Structure 1
Amino acid sequence: MSGRKNAGKASPFLLLLISVGCFFATYNFLTMVGHGRSRDAGPRKILGGVGGVGGGGSDPSKRFHVALTATDALYSQWQSRVMYYWYREMRDRPGSDMGGFTRILHSGKPDGLMDEIPTLVVDPLPEGADRGYIVLNRPWAFVQWLKKSNIKEDYVLMAEPDHIFVRPLPNLAHGDEPAAFPFFYIKPTENEKILRKFFPEENGPVSKIDPIGNSPVIIKKAQLEKIAPTWMNISLKMKEDVETDKAFGWVLEMYAYAVASALHGVHYSLRKDFMIQPPWDAKSDNTFIIHYTYGCDYTLKGELTYGKIGEWRFDKRSYLRSPPPRNLTLPPPGVPESVATLVKMVNEATANIPGWDEER
């Protein structure tokens, strides 16, 4: 991946000191969180419905800063450009609580988008520390950003390059209760044996761990400042544990964030309407974000051929080394509206971003 040759910029000794410090901070929480505020350990309430509770753009105290973690790989760059385009389109519309924006670039050096997207360069993990799992750089990037940033908003939205805002996003958090999207594949109660290594019994039932990842999440900056070092520490420890690494795989860092939140007594309002993931979610009229993590493959008759390259397809992985061309072919009739909307929004962004075809 891009940025590896610069990985030595953060010394292993510095990382060791940070990790040790995070370990003791986590240890302290193991003995104190159980004495925090009492909370129902049963199933979490899942909310829905676009609009819901949000600032509507009228209350400056509800504004949140959009924080996007990214690398300098072309694959990450073109997604970040599309994402930033739609952030700018939605930011000032009625109903939005979107504030400032920062791309947290964890490749360790500036890239060609510095003048296009507000960016803070942070160090990647030392060479080999991510064990080939580049997502481990995300919690380390947030730890650095939170120490270096001086944002004016009290809240933060943690986002990813493959997010597209389909409508203005209000602040879905409720004061000290942040908002997060519930992922069906994050199942704390089904993984109790493994999670007890990181969430001991004295902290209560594992049902206190919400079925979330770190993104999308809207959370108070003060809460994230406490969670981020623990999140980083647990991510590294999970990756080092063979059983945990094998069980959680590519969602390991998501579990680490959920566990870190629970250790700090932070629980989330679960918002199914936060985002959709085509092709599985067919409609975009009841959501705020399209997350295009899955490939969309169809026959020319509009039949899904997931797992098999279709006669028509849109898959971000088709554009690992170059951005998608302008004016992508729209899907055939019968394909879900969400997929058509996704391609139309990518086309609108690429048509209006100057220098789209330039490799940056």
Structure 2
Amino acid sequence: MHVIFSCENTTYMRWQAELLHYTYARCGMRAQMTALVAKTSEPLNGFPGEAFLVSNYRDHLPNETYEPLNKPGGIRDWAKRKGPRDERVLIVDPDSFFVRPVADPGPLRNGEACADGHGYMRADLAYTRVVLDRHCRRKCRALFQPVGIYILMRRDDLAAVTPLWLEKAMEIRSDKVCRAKLPDGGWISEMLAYAIAAAECGIRHRISRFAQANGTGLLQRPIIHYCFPVSASGRDWRREQQEPVLWSKWDYKPWDDPPVDRARTSEAAELLRGLAELAAKKRAAWTNEWTPAHGL
């Protein structure tokens, strides 16, 4: 199994990649992991482990920036490399925290994949129906599955699906009708694009349980996806509810101590404890680096 994640060469993504790499190694994962780093004007440094530079797709749409295009675009760039066609590739996000190893499910047949299900992409939702009607071939609509990150797929299937994934993401994001219907200004365009591209490429998914998001109150799956802020109350954070925030990746300054003792849920406590552990190690390394060998 080969684990990959898409990110951008920025300080914001760099500390997330460090936390991901730290918890990945700490929990005992031994599979190769590669960061697919979208180029920026900054010099490439600070990404732990193997880093593969890819093109930056965030500005490929006219008149707007849409960072999620870096996922299908960067994975497409990487999948062009030579490698075992039947290699199993696990796609994770940079804001992932490994609690324990992900079990290797063994060989996958062509057209077979595993992915987490997402209720906000269900085919019976009005906005999903609009997107399917406008961007999914009629004969493939019944094959649509509301799945996405985290995804485990053969490398050759990934190479086949990523060009269409990128194309569909750009089409859906640019569609004003879909944009008006989708939540959060169409942020999930890329996610729906994956599910549609997979359906049109004949990929069938076994529904997996790779990750839980923070705010679920669960710690049963191998990965914590800290995609949203940790709420002060412990409830699931919702933008429209103005829930008080305890901690958020959006404004975290590496390597400050997070408020571990105020976490109200098991997954939030695990996340903030692990972050505090890494932050302490990083600060200690800085101290050792800047302390003169013979004292002051």
TM-score bracket, normalised by the shorter chain, equals 0.7 to 0.9
Q: Which residue of the partner structure matches residue 120 of structure 1? A: 52
In structure 2, what is the equivalent of residue 230 of structure 1? 164
Counterparts of 1:101 and 1:151, CA distance in 2: 15
Q: What's 1:100 paired with?
A: 32
Structure 1 residue 283: deviation in Å? 2.3
Assess if the C-alpha contact under 8 Å between 1:65 and 1:151 holds in 2: no
Greater relative contact order structure (CA < 8 Å, 6+ sep): 1
Q: Distance in 2 between matches of 1:263 and 1:173?
A: 25
Per the alignment, in what secondary structure is the counterpart of residue 148 of structure 1? coil
- Contact (CA 8 Å) 1:125, 1:140: kept in 2 or not? yes
2:267 is equivalent to residue 332 of structure 1: no
Counterpart of 1:291? Answer: 225
Contact 2:214/2:268 (<8 A) preserved: yes
Aligned length: 276
Q: Who is 2:280 aligned against?
A: 351
Unaligned runs of 5+ in 2: 288-296
2:202 is equivalent to residue 202 of structure 1: no
SS at match of 1:103: strand
**CA–CA distance in structure 1, aligned partners of residues 20 and 259 of structure 2:** 20
Matches within 5 A, 1:124-163: 124-125=56-57, 127=59, 129=61, 131-148=64-81, 150=83, 154-163=87-96
Identity %: 21
Query: Is this contact kept in 2: 1:173–1:218, CA < 8 A?
Result: no
1:168-183 aligned within 5 A: 168-172=101-105, 175-176=108-109, 177-183=112-118
CA shift, 1:353, in A, is 4.6
Contact 1:275 1:287 in 2 (8 A): yes
Equivalences for 1:1-360 in 2 at 5 Å? 64-92=1-29, 98-108=30-40, 110-114=43-47, 116-125=48-57, 127=59, 129=61, 131-148=64-81, 150=83, 154-172=87-105, 175-176=108-109, 177-190=112-125, 191-203=128-140, 206-213=141-148, 215-248=149-182, 249-271=186-208, 273-279=209-215, 281-284=216-219, 286-298=220-232, 307-308=241-242, 310=244, 313-319=246-252, 322-325=253-256, 327-332=257-262, 335-353=264-282
Q: Deviations over 1:77-125 (max 9, x none)?
A: 1111100111122345xxxxx52111000125652225x3310111113
TM-score (structure 1 length as normaliser): 0.69
Conserved in 1, the CA contact under 8 Å of 2:58 and 2:66?
A: no
Task: Give the superposed CA RMSD.
Answer: 2.7
With 98-107 and 166-175 compared, the bigger mean Cα shift is at 166-175
- Partners of 1:323 and 1:243 lie apart in 2 by 40
Q: 2 CA distance for matches of 1:182 and 1:346?
A: 27
TM-score by length of 2: 0.83
1:195-244 CA-partner distances (Å, limit 9, x unpaired): 122222233xx34211112x211111111111011101111111221112
